Chains A and B, each alone.
Chain A
Amino acid sequence: MTHIKTKQGRRAFIKNSSLAGGGLVLGFSWFNSCKPKVAEALAVEIEMPKEWYEINGYLKIGDNGVVTIMSPNPEIGQNVRTSMPMIVADELEVDWKNVVVEQAALNTNLYSWQVAGGSRSISSSWQNLRMAGATARHMLKEAAAETWQVPVGEVTAVAGILSHEATGKSAGYGEMASAASKLEVPEEIELKEIKDFSIIGTSRKNVDGKKLVTGKPLFGIDVQREGMLIASVVHPPAFGMKLKSYDAEAIKQMPGIRDVFTIKLYDDDFKKMAFHFTAFNELIVVVGDSTWQVFQAKKALNVEWENNPEITDTMTMFGNDMKVTFPAGMENSEDHTAKLKDITSSKIKVARKDGNPEAAFKNAAKIIERSYSCPFLAHNTMEPMNFFAHVTDDHAELLGPTQTPEWMEPAVSEVLGIPLENIDIQMTRQGGGFGRRLYGHFMVEVAAISQRMKAPVKLVYTREDDMTQGIYRPAYYATYRAAFDTDKNLTAFHVRAGGIPESPLFANRFPAGAIDNYLAEDFTVDSNITTGAFRAPRSNFIAGAEQSFLDEIAEEMGKDPIDFRLELLKRADENPVGKKESNDYDASRYAGVLELVREKSNWKQAEPGVHRGVSAYFCHQSYVAQVLDIVMDNDTPVVKKVTAAIDCGIVVNPDAASNLSEGGVIDGIGHAMYSGLTFKDGMPQQSNFDRYRLIRHKEAPKMIETHFVQSEIDPTGMGEPPFPPIMGALANALYKATGQRHYQQPFIKEKQIIG
């Protein structure tokens, strides 16, 4: 049995938030303030209780045994709204069909890390969620023991029923909920053994399924309130520009338009967190009665823009100050490429060096050198940026899609001049995140607009606003070199990677630690185009580049690409270069996914006409290996199948995790193959899906199969890891199918392929 403490020093992980109120929860204000009468969330309808008893911040139990479990983190499609409550329910020992799930509001007292970022929702809350369920189970047992006057150790809890064998007594959770809610939280509790999990590790359907297929209001953009106005903003058409003047009067006369004005978000001396950032601090706002009227008025607006000077700013990121420079001027994609290619040596920094790479390259019998690149990308969440706010004199209510409610709260507070404790942030289901909604400037915008209008307001971006606002995946560039001796042994490895404005390098990831002479260098190029985290930041490029290059090395050495990687991993495991701790990965788990994918894809026995590529990568503490199969249909390559092997520790909800794996694969193929955002005179050249190409049905793999490594390790990341490596598997399979290697994303620009 694992015993864990519910407190550490003065910090209590689990609080009985109802002790003061005696346990009976009245007038509880949940999201949308509409308490479900029946659990529409689940396909099966549930009878709702008359009274709820709150046991702790994660759950409340009804007098009829129905349990409401709070899902603390933002739901962006990674399915935490189902999988996080599953963890609580398992430890609580309740029947999943008696569970109702609700989205928790931002509450830094009750929850930690209410963020959808870094693939950390499950891993960072794993212990707390289990503790919340186990604590409640224990308190229910205690309540039963007291009522029945029997020792608590003799009370068992199974599927929502408490029993005492010797006396034959039994009661449902609902009958003991009131008594349990009045007990003190135990200092130490017992967690279940992994082998006893009955919900974790089983596939459970999305709790919002029924609502999704019937079109119920779930998303931020669906929020409606009495007296609500619609707002939209106009930002400069190019990076490096700001507002000069505009003609508000002309559009104020248009039907349904209430007001037109400008807002300035942050004062110059406000110390921003990186997540507060926006390229366009001053915006024109159009407010009206309906979305269409507002969008039409925006189109008719006459504005004059002017050039920005160079701007320097200091931002904090988890306590560290970062100085950032946004140069003046209108940038072009051609110049970006030239700057990345011709980087001056003074800007290059050594990030890691093992052995004597210079000498090894000098003495090499052969050197191969390849350069890889990728463009800026827009996140393009299917639901454009939007948020609702209702700001009164001393209170602000915000509701909508955000990945970082906690980090945005101080910015909202600052701009409104309303203290933190009077700001209430709630989250809706979100139509995609991919990192875009980590940057919540739109929350600040809508709060400022509502304050000025003295009315509830929903801010809605058009697709064009959304795609041209910035916060893009940076453009990256990497050059790899490998040195061989006369026997074709790999003697040295060199990577030099940079980007606008950040480098994608992870100097201590594989193959660091597996090659005696190793050099990793990085560089950056400043830009006024704003960038941010995009699903698996940096890995989303470097994985594909590295895994393509390893394929060329294996070919040069005449080795099977999986055998070659396993040899390197064996070296890193048994006799690592440098200290083992300085290598960021676990070589044996890395090898494990390669071995699993080799077996499951039947790697050595490809069917005739099938061309295969392999790739494996480690990020967000998880390991993913993928084999991608291409068949030629006349002259067009078609992705017939992808086989994935994943080690992400314990898998909470296997079918939902497979869904994420499938999504990562399709997303990765799509972005490597088709997507890109380019610039002319500071202006994004793509502003909607007519010119910005996203992968579609016909181009997706015909089949995707996911296999998980059986593991008892605590869960690690799942949302991001399946995304980066597939780009390498795709490039490697395309090479087998067509004889052409691919170096520049989107590959479609190199040759008309797939679709």
Chain B
Amino acid sequence: MATFSIHINGSTKNIDVDPSTPMLWVLRDHFNLVGTKFGCGIAQCGACTVHLGENAVRSCQLPISAVGEQHITTIEGLSENGNHPVQQAWLEVDVYQCGYCQAGQIMTASALLKKNPNPTEEEIEGAMNGNICRCGTYTRIKKAVKKAAEINQNT
């Protein structure tokens, strides 16, 4: 066990866990931030995607000891009132079926748009390809990413 200070969603939280504990489980079991989902545990599905700094990363593969001073943003911290352009677009397109993968999809999409505010269809597919949606909402996800880019541009 070791003590860590983690910058998360605009605040700093202290926690005493084994250094190899993946951030996914720190978030879910210790910080009670359960929006970040467990899907595979081996970096294959993207359900656990969070932002480390400005990058979308797989929190199931991110040991707490590797976080250091970098800031983590989870779905709960993406916006204050759930009004991030990507969240708005998701609501407008009504993307989800079961909804379980969608936090990960939203975190990947918002990291993409930050780097590339106006992605082409292929760039969207490329960036989103690591996020599995078992229910098959891919066409809606793509539509929503485009919509979010539009909302971004108009604000």
Contact (Cβ within 8 A) B136 A662: yes
Query: Within the complex, what minimum Cβ distance (angstroms) separates A78 from chain B?
Result: 7
B125 contacts the other chain (Cβ, under 8 Å)? yes
A381 contacts the other chain (Cβ, under 8 Å)? yes
Contact (Cβ within 8 A) A384 B38: yes
Which residues between 119 and 135 of chain B lie within 8 Å of chain A, taking CB atoms? 121, 124-126, 128-135
Contact (Cβ within 8 A) A205 B136: no
A663 contacts the other chain (Cβ, under 8 Å)? yes
Chain A contacts for B87, CB-based, 8 A: 213-214
Which residues between 29 and 72 of chain A lie within 8 Å of chain B, taking CB atoms? 43
**Bound complex: CA A318 to CA B119 (Å):** 53
Q: Interface-forming stretch among A217-225, A326-334, A391-399?
A: A217-225
Chain B contacts for A667, CB-based, 8 A: 134-136
Which residues between 97 and 155 of chain B lie within 8 Å of chain A, taking CB atoms? 97-103, 106, 121, 124-126, 128-142
Contact (Cβ within 8 A) B82 A210: yes
A642-682 interface bits toward B, Cβ cutoff 8 Å, 1 = contact, 0 = none: 00000000000001100110111111001000000000000
Footprint of A on B, CB under 8 Å?
1, 18, 21-22, 25, 28-30, 32-42, 44-45, 47, 74-76, 78, 82, 87, 90-91, 94, 96-103, 106, 121, 124-126, 128-142
Contact (Cβ within 8 A) A292 B138: no
**Bound complex: CA A483 to CA B87 (Å):** 57
Query: Within the complex, what minimum Cβ distance (angstroms) separates B37 from chain A?
Result: 7
Q: Contacts A291-B25, A659-B140, A662-B137 hold; do A697 and B76 have CB atoms under 8 A apart?
A: no
**Bound complex: CA A381 to CA B135 (Å):** 8
Contact (Cβ within 8 A) A255 B1: yes
**Bound complex: CA A217 to CA B32 (Å):** 9
Chain A contacts for B106, CB-based, 8 A: 213
Give the interface SS of chain B, mostly helix, strand, loop or mixed. Answer: loop
Q: Contacts A206-B96, A667-B136 hold; do A214 and B35 have CB atoms under 8 A apart?
A: yes
Chain A contacts for B90, CB-based, 8 A: 209, 212-213
Query: Within the complex, what minimum Cβ distance (angstroms) separates B81 from chain A?
Result: 9
A696 contacts the other chain (Cβ, under 8 Å)? yes
Number of interface residues, chain A, beta carbon within 8 A: 66
Contact (Cβ within 8 A) A689 B44: yes
Q: Contacts A43-B91, A214-B87 hold; do A701 and B139 have CB atoms under 8 A apart?
A: yes
Contact (Cβ within 8 A) B18 A694: no
Contact (Cβ within 8 A) A206 B94: yes
| A-B contact list, 25 entries, CB within 8 Å | A209-B94, A212-B90, A213-B82, A213-B91, A215-B74, A215-B103, A230-B29, A290-B29, A291-B38, A382-B37, A382-B45, A382-B133, A383-B39, A384-B38, A429-B98, A431-B100, A433-B98, A463-B40, A463-B41, A656-B94, A662-B136, A662-B137, A689-B132, A696-B138, A700-B136
Q: Contacts A662-B139, A688-B44 hold; do A212 and B132 have CB atoms under 8 A apart?
A: no
A176 contacts the other chain (Cβ, under 8 Å)? no
Contact (Cβ within 8 A) A222 B97: no
Which residues between 677 and 723 of chain A lie within 8 Å of chain B, taking CB atoms? 688-690, 694-698, 700-704
